[in-house]
Amino acid sequence: MLNISLKSVSKNIDLAKYKSFQTLEKQIVSKALIVVMTILLIVGFFAMFLPWTQNIRAKGNVTTLSPDDRPQSIQATIGGKIEKWYVMEGAVVSVGDTILQISEVKEDYMDPKILDNTNIQIAAKGESSKAYLQKAANLSQVLEALVNGKAIKLEQNQIKVKQTLLKIQSDSIDLVAAKTKAEIATNQLERIQNLFDEGLKSLTDLEEKRLSIREAQAKVISIENKINTNRNELTNLQANIIAITNDFDNKIAKTKSDRMSALSAKYDADATQNKLQSQYNTYEVRQSNFFILSPINGTVTEALTTGIGELIKAGESVVNIIPQKYNLAIETFINPMDMPLLELGQKVRVQFDGWPAIVFSGWPNSSYGTFGGKIFAINNDISENGKYRVLISQDPDDLPWPIEVRVGGGANTITLLNDVSVGYELWRQLNGFPADYYKDAKSKKIKTKAPLRKVK
């Protein structure tokens, strides 16, 4: 009843006789529930002041720190046909162990004596190079002989020129004497003629004088002819200098040309020999690649190409090998908003897939089944998935990671940040504020807030 009237009739009515009034008087919430709710509210209020470790949770996978320690695919350096397998999946191999043998399939390399034949060609070109070098040396000697011969010929010609000049000088003196003698004979003839006319000399004397003058004149003419001959010879000798020079210069030029041709042929032979040597090395290396060897110590996990007689291409993967010893790491990806909160060496808790664990998000130290790690590397470039790649290594100050963990397995990472109260963390999450973070400097924990970007 509402009991809003000034005259109440509730005193005159026995409410216990009516079930509807009894139902209305019952409480909707029991006292026990109220007590429980009150206790929960009190506990929740005090729980707001409990410590909470802020963290960044991310999903990643197990990898290795060094690229050499990661699973590797062994490729065929050259194309060929599979002849024989020396290992099977699961086999343990060492560096240099033979994994697979292949044979040649290209026509250019199918000669079984290709190395021997190429070696013979190299030797032949070497001998040809030596022959051309010897020819060039011989031509150098010929060239030297020609140069010396030219000098000797010119010197001989110069001597003849001097001799001819001396002859001309000597004949010129003889000519003067002969002319003088002829002049004297002429004067004597005139005197004898006068004496003959006077009857003082006989005809015989006159004829003798006439004969003497004829001999003197003949002597003059003879000496003049001799001088002219020597002068002509001198002219020829002077012209012979040019002829000798031109002749020897032509021979020297031809010899030089032949020598350069021999040297050019020698260099061509050397180039061909080097090319053949390069081909020989290529053939030798190619034949050594018929056996595919293991580059690392590891375990064969999968044969990607199977069968005998199957053809494989150059660069095609034939088998996968996992190294025996490796340093595990966790590869995880962080949202760009959380990147300013990370730094090298920061502590991380790791939960491996398949490993039993009980994780309390705000109390990582109270979690069970997680292992310690620290940030080893942070990529500066964003990945294709829109996040930044972070590499986490084992924490040497924590428990070692389980040996059962394998490369490629999944892992959950919890990057530890600042210790705050539960109430502050709820308030931060509701408002979408960034988390706090801390730095270790000189073994002292310095707490600070994430820097806010100023808007200009």
Neighbours of 15 (CB within 10 A): 12
> How far is it, in rounded angstroms, from Cα 127 to Cα 110?
27
pLDDT of residue 451: 41
pLDDT of residue 27: 54
Structure tokens at 95: 């560096």
pLDDT of residue 265: 92
pLDDT of residue 58: 85
Instruction: Tell me the domain boundaries of the chain.
Output: 53-69+326-448, 72-104+291-323, 114-288
Indicate the fold that domain 114-288 takes in CATH: Helix Hairpins (1.10.287)
Q: 53-69+326-448 belongs to which homologous superfamily?
A: Efflux pump adaptor protein, beta barrel domain (2.40.30.170)
Which residue in this structure is represented by tokens 């539960």? 422
Phi, psi of 40, deg, nearest 5: -60, -40
* pLDDT (tens digit per residue) in 55-105: 778 888 988 888 877 888 888 888 888 888 998 888 899 988 999 989 888
DSSP string, 161-181: HHHHHHHHHHHHHHHHHHHHH
pLDDT of residue 238: 84
Structure tokens at 164: 């001819």
Structure tokens at 33: 């529930």
pTM (2 d.p.): 0.55
> Edge-to-edge strand order for the sheet containing 317-323?
72-75, 317-323, 298-303, 92-93
Helix (H, G, I), strand (E, B) or coil at 17: helix
pLDDT of residue 138: 93
Spell out, as residue ranges, where the chain has pLDDT lower than 70: 1-18, 20-30, 47, 50-54, 200-201, 357-368, 418-422, 424-425, 428-429, 431-456
* pLDDT (tens digit per residue) in 321-369: 988 888 889 899 988 877 877 888 888 888 888 777 666 655 566 666 7
Burial class (CB in 10 A: 0-12, 13-18, 19+), 181: middle
pLDDT of residue 441: 44
Q: Which CATH number fits domain 72-104+291-323: 3.30.420.60, 3.40.50.410, 2.40.50.100, 2.60.40.730?
A: 2.40.50.100
pLDDT of residue 430: 75
pLDDT of residue 399: 84
pLDDT of residue 141: 92
pLDDT of residue 276: 92
pLDDT of residue 174: 79
pLDDT of residue 23: 64
pLDDT of residue 207: 75
> How far is it, in rounded angstroms, from Cα 438 to Cα 367?
21
